[in-house]
Copies of this chain bind each other. A is one copy, B any other.
Amino acid sequence: MRTIDPGKHAARRAAILAAARHCFARKGFHQTSTAGICAQAGMSPGNLFHYFATKQAIIAAIVEQEGSETAAYFDERQGGADAYGALLDFMDMVLALAADGDFAGLALEIAAEALRDADIAARVARNDATLRAGVQALLENAAAQGQADATLDMAQTASWIATLVDGIFNRVAVDPHYAPLAQRDSLHVLLARFLRPALA
A191 to B127, CA, bound (A): 27
Q: Which of A1-9, A11-19, A27-35, A36-44 contacts B (4 or more CB under 8 A)?
A: A27-35
Report the interface size class on chain A.
35 or more
Interface residues of A in 101-159 (CB under 8 A from B): 101, 104-105, 108-109, 111-116, 121, 124-125, 127-129, 132, 153, 156-157, 159
**Candidates B25, B101, B157; contact of A186 at CB < 8 Å:** B157
CB distance from A191 to the nearest CB of B (A): 9
A193 to B170, CA, bound (A): 24
B114 near A174: Cβ-Cβ < 8 Å: yes
Contacts of A171 in B (CB 8 A): 159, 162-163, 166
Q: How many copies does the complex hold?
A: 2
A157 to B108, CA, bound (A): 23
CB closest residue in chain B, given A114: B173
Decide yes or no whether A178 CB sits under 8 A from chain B: yes
CB closest residue in chain B, given A200: B197
B27 near A174: Cβ-Cβ < 8 Å: no
Contacts of A76 in B (CB 8 A): none
Decide yes or no whether A85 CB sits under 8 A from chain B: no
A166 to B107, CA, bound (A): 13
Interface string of A166-200 (1 = CB under 8 A from B): 11111111111010000100110110011001001
A124 to B31, CA, bound (A): 21
CB closest residue in chain B, given A132: B175
Query: What are 13 A-to-B residue pairs whose CB atoms are below 8 Å?
Result: A30-B30, A109-B112, A111-B173, A111-B174, A112-B173, A128-B174, A153-B186, A156-B186, A160-B183, A163-B171, A167-B168, A169-B170, A189-B194
